[in-house]
Structure 1
Amino acid sequence: MESWKVNLISVWFGCFFTGLAISQILPFLPLYVSQLGVSSHEALSMWSGLTFSVTFLVSAIVSPMWGSLADRKGRKLMLLRASLGMAIAILLQAFVTNVWQLFLLRALMGLTSGYIPNAMALVASQVPRDRSGWAISTLSTAQISGVIGGPLMGGFLADHVGLRAVFLITAVLLVISFLVTLFLIKEGARPSVSKAERLSGKAVFASLPYPWLMISLFITTMVIQLCNGSVGPILALFIQSMAPESTNIAFLSGMIAAVPGVSALMSAPRLGKLGDRIGTGRILMATLIVAVVLFFAMSFVTTPFQLGVLRFLLGFADGAMLPAVQTLLIKYSSDRVTGRIFGYNQSFMYLGNVAGPLMGAAVSAMAGFRWVFAATAVVVLLNIIQLAWAMRRRRQQEARTRASKRL
């Protein structure tokens, strides 16, 4: 088997364990905060929000630095750093005695981020360019699978072995990810780039053929994460408002929250392969348009079943969006700066993770639950307009370049 295929399979399992480990803690984080002595509703809400968001905020700040280091020192080293660092940070969270300790360890966990973007960059640098869409989409199914299975596994373990034990089990999963990376992943020789020789942020963008398109794709990444997260804070409450007599709101909410991941798993590799054939940009624009239509439709639903069906359909588009962005980032950047580009993209992804829930909570408080879906649709629509402009500008530049070569 070709070495890039072996790496793709190995990294898939590493990303799966990483996604599983991170997501299985999140559902019961507020319960853990309350166990640490935070009792009032206001303080519990504040500390739950802070301990959740600080990881993403720190990650957004340090991701470009890790991307730069990956370009100089190699991506396997970054994978080992991220998996072992997260394992240690999560292991220590099992032994905290107050909420400040948990907050600081969650911030430390943000410093150790970067496994999945570095895995994407490693695969991107080795896979044949004509198969990059399929490879990146296949790799994205690992994280999706982990994010689907994590909350279910975390909830089951929390009920049966206790909250602190889940942190220990999560740390073990990340050690497995570390061992898979250490023994199975092979990275070819990389050109040596000293710290003095590395490009500045300005020079990175100057080296790109279409820098404005890269920035447009970064914004698209942020919007994709924003629209995924905006519904989170109000989903259970919205379902409860549509079915006030229901006795299993938590189960319904969990199902409706997870269902897009199931359809995303089905669509990601197929749409990635289709993008290799007809153009990744077309797939990205089509899925964003579908998302706008579905979010607008969600604002009119009257039953949880209708919402579940629309979110299932959204998953088909969702499975292709981020892989399409990442494939385009690979296409329009050189191997020398891929790590930096993926680091910048990861920062925008984390910013979307923070902005989405904040926007959802604010719109819900001001205008009601249904307006959250409408507001999300408007944000995605504005993003489609700016992305279409950037792609049109790229096509015009390509046409001018071809014309000048003929002359």
Structure 2
Amino acid sequence: MQIWKRNLLVCWFGMFVTSVGMSQLAPVLPLYIKQLGVHNSASIDQFSGMAFGITYIISAIFSPIWGRAADKFGRKPMLLRASLGMAIVIGWMGFAHNVYELIGLRALQGVITGYGTACTTLIATQTDHEHAGWALGTLSTANIAGSLLGPLIGGFIEDHFGLQNVFLMTGALLLIAFVATALFVQEVFSRQNREALSSKEVWNIVPEKSLTITLLVTFFILTLAMYSVEPVITVYVAELSKNADHIALLAGMVFSASGLANIIAAPRLGRLSDQIGAQKVILGALIVAGLIFIPQAFVHHPWQLMILRFLLGLAAAGLTPSVNTLVKRITPDSLTGRVFGFSMAAGYLGVFGGSVFGGQVAAHLGVRYVFLMTGALLLINALWVYVKVYKKLNLQQETIYMKSKIL
């Protein structure tokens, strides 16, 4: 097996487990906080929000820092650091004595994350140009699958083995990822890339500043869009459903539909971006995703919403791989870790911002407006991408093609 394929396989497993570790707390968090001695319902909700959100906020701050370290010391050391650190911290959560220790450990989890940044950088820099889109598309499914299955895994373990074992078993999986990374990941890393640069120096070196900003903002917006409906899915399904006995199951199916479609389509759209250009895939995916969001506001039955969410997942599958492919294309290898660190930070902020955005819009305007406003946001972003990315890169491709014809 080629080295980059073996690295991709190990990184996929590690990113999947890391994503499970980030998301598995959602269904058990209120129960665990209650077990830790908090019994007031309002306080449980408050502490749950703090414990869940703090990991993503801290991760957004530290992702660029670990991206810089990946460029300086290599990507494999960052993979080992993050997987072992998260194995210890998440396992330790099972022994928390009070809610403040739990929140502190969730914050520490945000500090030591960086597995995804290092994996993306490793695959982007060591995969040949012809397979980069497919490889990054395949890698993106690990995060999606982990986020999709994490709450289910957490709920299953809690139901069958107890709350403490949610953390212990997730820590054990991360320890397996650490061992697999140590044994099977191979990296060719040049010592000349170890020079530490400040953020200002990095920005001065980045050759395509406008494109980079556009891609980072796009990644933030698409992540915000995907997570904007999380706080309102169950409420919306309850509003649409006439059978109140199965609301939780229906909501889970609706939420899972887009993730399942994303897993199916991401490698294929990644391969398509290798063939026709990532800028074309990302523009088309943004337009289609924005248009599919709008009719979700007018459905009358949960199964209609489920179908639209599945179609949305097929379209959205082209977004993250295309952004990563374009970032790889316009960024020097020596700075890839730093820039991917900023990209991951934008994604973490999008997760947090999407949850807040969806909840606030639903509270003030109604659930249906979440879908309308999210669709409009994606379409506006598509117009911006057309002007700032699509036209510029297509012109560059045409110029290169004409020069080759002349020669």
2:229–2:358 contact (8 Å) kept in structure 1? yes
By how many angstroms is 1:258 displaced? 1.1
* Ranges in structure 1 where 5+ consecutive residues have no aligned partner: none
Aligned to 2:345: 347
Who is 1:356 aligned against? 354
2:215 corresponding residue in structure 1: 217
Moved over 6 A (4+): 399-406
Give the aligned partner of residue 146 of structure 1.
146
Q: Is the 8 A contact 1:24 1:152 kept in 2?
A: yes
Question: Paired residue for 1:93?
Answer: 93
Structure 2 residue aligned with 1:256: 254
1:180-224 alpha-carbon deviations (Å, 9 max, x no partner): 100100111323345xx4332233233233211111100111111
The match for 2:244 is 246
Residues 64, 344 of structure 1: 8 Å contact kept? yes
Q: Contact between 1:21 and 1:173, CA under 8 Å: does it hold in 2?
A: no
Counterpart CA distance in 1 for 2:175 and 2:361 is 40
Shift in Å, 1:401: 8.3
- Aligned counterparts of 1:393 and 1:286: Cα–Cα separation in 2: 13
Q: Tell me, what secondary structure is at the counterpart of 2:232?
A: helix
Partner of 2:120: 120
Measure how far apart 1:244 and its partner are.
Answer: 4.5
Q: Following the alignment from structure 2 to structure 1, what is the Cα–Cα distance between the partners of residues 225 and 391?
A: 26
Identity across matched positions, percent: 41
The residue type paired with residue 332 of structure 2 is: S
What are the within-5 Å matches in structure 2 for residues 68-79 of structure 1? 68-79=68-79
Q: How far is 1:90 from its partner? A: 0.6
Q: Which residue of 2 aligns with 1:323?
A: 321
Normalised by the length of structure 1, the TM-score is 0.94
Q: Counterpart in 2 of 1:167?
A: 167
Q: 384-393 vs 211-220, which deviates more?
A: 384-393
Residue of 369, 372, 377 corresponding to 1:371:
369
CA distance in 2 between partners of 1:181 and 1:77 (Å)? 10
The letter of the residue matching 1:21 is: G
How big is the shift at 1:320? 1.7
**Post-superposition shift, 1:179?**
0.5
Instruction: Count how many residue pairs are aligned between Structure 1 and Structure 2.
Output: 404
The one of 228, 231, 234 equivalent to 1:230 is 228
Quote how far apart the aligned CAs of 1:392 are.
5.2
Distance in 2 separating the partners of 1:11 and 1:245: 42
Q: 1:395 to 1:255 in 2, by over 3 A?
A: closer
Cα distance in 2 for partners of 1:288, 1:396 equals: 17
One-letter amino acid matched to 1:387:
V
Greater shift in the superposed pair: 332-341 or 22-31: 22-31
- Separation in 2, partners of 1:58, 1:256: 29
| Aligned mate of 1:287, from 268, 285, 288 | 285
Q: C-alpha separation between the residues in 2 aligned to 1:285 and 1:13? A: 29
Contact 1:78–1:118, Cα closer than 8 Å, also in 2: yes
> RMSD between aligned alpha carbons?
2.0
Instruction: State the AA in 1 paired with 2:160.
Output: H
Work out the CA distance in 2 between the residues paired with 1:394 and 1:68: 28
Alpha-carbon separation, structure 1, partners of 2:74 and 2:124 = 13
How far did 1:4 drift?
1.4
For structure 2, the residue ranges without an aligned partner over 5 or more in a row are none
Counterpart of 2:243 in 1: which secondary structure? Answer: coil
In structure 1, C-alpha distance between the alignment counterparts of 2:295 and 2:143, rounded to whole Å: 27
Using the alignment, how far apart are the partners of 1:370 and 1:41 within structure 2?
28
Cα separation, 2, equivalents of 1:399 and 1:55:
41
Q: 2:206 and 2:61 mapped to 1: Cα distance?
A: 22
CA contact (8 A) 2:59 2:110 kept: yes
1:290/1:396 Cα in 2 relative to 1: closer, same or farther (>3 Å)?
closer
